[in-house]
Structure 1
Amino acid sequence: MATLVVGASGATGKLLVKQLLKAGQNVKVIVRFSSSVPETWKNNDRLTIIKVDAIEAIGIDEMMVYLEDCQSVASCLGHSPNFKGIYGKPRRLVTDMVELLCQAIIKDAPEKPLRLVLMNTAGNSNRDLNERISIGQKIVIGLLRLLLPPHVDNEKAADYLRIKIGQKNPFVEWVVVRPDSLIDLENVTAYSAHSSPTRSALFDSGKVSRSNVAHFMCQLLLDDKVWERWKGQMPVLYNDMIEEK
């Protein structure tokens, strides 16, 4: 069995693929033809590289083929941090991919539910828990919804899993991982996962390395105990010690 990773060519996606391969997992990645991939990927028997013209143009039946022999799937998709990536199309890149993955899984109707892990952001509240945020943060979030389409995309992607898929879907189980401010550290270090933010994502943000995010996502996908602890939830990640780079 394998894990399918979308958004694998991104900074965190590459680290997730590395973690999965290190754990002995077979991995499939979907990348654009224009994406650059590490040379080490090209000669790895446990890694299948699926190249497409446009990720957003994949259909349900095509995705069902990519999901064959997979017991889990992870999305590290995000909008490029430039004007085109933020304000250009597709504005629902993350949400549309989550919907496509779920619809393809449900149409295939596997005997055992597939695990879906979505990388999101600590700036997105888990409205299942009615998380407390300050009035100032509510105001800023309202402005972000108006000014930054990627923020709305992250919210809608998580909401699709919370509301449409829910907690009792027979074919899809999910976790939405919410890292706080991302930093680059080469190695996995001590980190912690929390059901809700322990600090303001906007006014007192913590830090977490992409390596730690990738490690946690890998644990969710492969470790049954970790999965049972967090399935149907939106854990927030912080490094145990704040390290700058």
Structure 2
Amino acid sequence: MKLAIFGASGATGRLLVEQALAAGHDVTVLLRSAGSLPLDDVRVQRIVGQLDQPDAVAAVVQGADAVISVLGVRKGGALTVCTDGIRSMLQAMQHTGTQRLIALSAYGASETRDHSWFIRLVRKIIREKMRDKDAMEKLVRASTTDWTLVRPPALTNGAATGAYRASTSLKPGITGRLSRADLAGFMLSVAERGDFLYQAPVVSI
């Protein structure tokens, strides 16, 4: 497969690129600088640019079998990065005719906001980040793409185990956790298998 990955230089994004390459896929990424993804592999095509540059985003999306977004708010970064990024991706996908989209959201977004008192508390603590996820999900659901929204709970830097559950009705609770390596593995598997179409699975150990 040819995968277009946005957010590739982040903690989850780097793992996703590594796992995609290990699985034999070709990867195109958007980077602010070519050196921000230190991987030496000819199957990685680096497009240097910004999410608000339509030509750069379209160059990443062009010819992709699937677009995967693992964008997230970084310290000092824009609080609407997920919404703004998805808006740019959707425009590029419409322009290039690319259909498959897998986007990283979060458990507690949209209709899962009231699943527990803990989630309601989390939303108060990181309200701007969750509002960004809410708005992003709204754009994705309104699009004509073949979309999947992935909702993990709290993320860790643990190793990949494959011992996680994924379901649209899953409620992880206060102890819900998922390693970034397992998150990357799940998102890659969704791209490969084409499952969870038009669904928002929660993924947790």
TM-score normalised by the chain length of structure 2: 0.89
Paired letter, 1:160: L
Contact 2:113 2:123 in 1 (8 A): no
Whether 1:217 aligns to 2:187 is: yes
**How many Å apart are 1:192 and its aligned residue?**
1.1
Q: Return the alpha-carbon distance in structure 1 between the equivalents of residues 107 and 37 of structure 2.
A: 28
Larger radius of gyration: 1
Question: Residues 178, 35 of structure 1: CA spacing in aligned structure 2 closer, same or farther, 3 A cutoff?
Answer: farther
Whether 1:99 aligns to 2:99 is: no
**How many Å apart are 1:193 and its aligned residue?**
0.3
Q: Give the corresponding residue for 2:132.
A: 153
Question: Residues 143, 23 of structure 1: CA spacing in aligned structure 2 closer, same or farther, 3 A cutoff?
Answer: same
CA deviation profile, 1:190-214 (whole Å, cap 9, x unmatched): 11101133233xxx14111111100
Q: Give the corresponding residue for 1:64.
A: 58
Q: Return the alpha-carbon distance in structure 1 between the equivalents of residues 65 and 132 of structure 2.
A: 26
Equivalent residues, number? 205
CA deviation profile, 1:70-109 (whole Å, cap 9, x unmatched): 11111111111x3x23xxxx3311111111111111123x
**How many Å apart are 1:35 and its aligned residue?**
6.1
Q: Return the alpha-carbon distance in structure 1 between the equivalents of residues 28 and 65 of structure 2.
A: 11
**Residue number among 18, 27, 45 corresponding to 1:48 in the alignment:** 45
Q: Give the corresponding residue for 1:5.
A: 5
Paired letter, 2:108: G
Structure 1 residue runs of 4 or more that deviate by more than 6 Å after TM superposition:
none
**How many Å apart are 1:149 and its aligned residue?**
1.8
Contact 1:179 1:213 in 2 (8 A): yes
- RMSD between superposed Cα atoms in Å: 2.2
TM-score normalised by the chain length of structure 1: 0.75
**How many Å apart are 1:26 and its aligned residue?**
0.5
Whether 1:231 aligns to 2:204 is: no
Contact 1:131 1:196 in 2 (8 A): no
Q: Return the alpha-carbon distance in structure 2 between the equivalents of residues 205 and 154 of structure 1.
A: 21
Whether 1:143 aligns to 2:124 is: yes
Q: Give the corresponding residue for 1:124.
A: 109
Identity rate, percent: 28
3-state DSSP class of the match of 1:222?
helix
Q: Give the corresponding residue for 1:14.
A: 14
For structure 2, the residue ranges without an aligned partner over 5 or more in a row are none
